[in-house]
Structure 1
Amino acid sequence: MRIRDEFGAVFESEQFVAGFAPRGGPSVSPGMLALVSVPQYAERLTDRQAADAVRGRIDWKYALGLQLADPG
């Protein structure tokens, strides 16, 4: 959270565009996916547990720059 306070957005989506197909349905931004993977790895969470953390934990929402009412 301190990194986000100090530097703002850490990962910009434009840095990760090449890793995602241009076709298909809408998705979460590549930068957001990259940012979620850091605390997921640090806390040794499964994908489902990380998704639950984004939906229900204030610290994860703050670190990702989401509104508290964001459904995650």
Structure 2
Amino acid sequence: MTAPDLPSIAQMLAELRREHRALDTQVAEMVAAGSRDELQITRMKKRKLLLKDAIARLESKLIPDLDA
């Protein structure tokens, strides 16, 4: 991985984490308000899982490969 890649990965991570937190807040608010829109809540939860996976993939790119 080249040095210029690190800032772009860090920026993407920040954006994905921000979106994940926003979705988490929205889901919590909908549930607390007693929303009956289960389909929307389910879609938001699936999106959160996709974001979590994307975050994990990017974080793994930041871990340097060690030659054994």
TM-score computed with the length of structure 1 as normaliser: 0.28
TM-score computed with the length of structure 2 as normaliser: 0.29
More helix by share: 2
CA radius of gyration, larger in? 2
Q: Which structure is higher in RCO with an 8 Å CA cutoff and minimum separation 6?
A: 2
